[in-house]
Homo-oligomer: A and B are copies of this chain.
């Protein structure tokens, strides 16, 4: 019945980066380590733990080096950090990370808003960063933000995405992340873009990063699975989103996505019941309710 679905899927936990960065209340490094340790114990094998950004701009990430030093040792888990410039690449390496994520926005307007750089300038910079990361022998995941549309520019031409992907492939990156930064993807758009990219990319894994802003996150995941995609970014309890957009919601939730997979007989290696306490611990500390569903149920899952 599910011959069109993969047997195994990898969820990449991005809560400690994409989720934490939007919280105004500083989460102590101790608590961050407690959560990351809990996620490793729950079976998450790839975790984006921090970003190397200007601490004046993002105080929540000021502890990046300290956090990396204190990460739980695990033979299974891969830790990565987001880097925005060559300085970030150097910091990540010096901190001792082996994996970095480098990212670019497919929207010129979004790029200028977010980084002050035009898309063309950003492409030049990202190539420098990849060169530096190669010299440092770092594993590189290269991302494209706003791949399914931009709140400023609307639809993004697929040829532009294809061009950026080709640039990345020619630079020799290890994985490519396609991000629906603003939650504007839909299942037909996912199939269209993946139908174009999958044959192009060959053996480099494509990782999809969906936000659930308009409620379509898991429908988009289903469409992507049907295209053969097996790697998805998720955040515990669906943390994330933008604090400046009321009602804007975060990444698809780790628990909910793991439940979708379990219900369909797809292995993730994740013990949902061990993710849930991490989510509840953070909700309690931050005195908030995250948008995920499974962590709120009295019995977390039927799977």
Contact = CB atoms under 8 A, between A and B. Distances in A.
A85 B118 CA distance: 67
A293 B249 contact: yes
Interface in A116-174: 149, 151, 154
Interface stretch (A24-32, A68-76, A216-224): A216-224
Interface of A: 1-2, 5, 149, 151, 154, 184, 186-189, 191-192, 195, 212-216, 218-219, 221-223, 245-249, 253, 256, 259-260, 263-265, 292-294, 296-298, 301-302
A2 B187 CA distance: 9
Secondary structure class of chain A's binding surface, majority of residues: loop
Contacts of A246: 296, 298
Given A5-B188, A245-B298, A212 B293 contact: yes
A143 B248 CA distance: 35
A293 B293 CA distance: 13
Given A218-B218, A219-B218, A260 B293 contact: no
A214 B256 contact: yes
A297 B264 contact: no
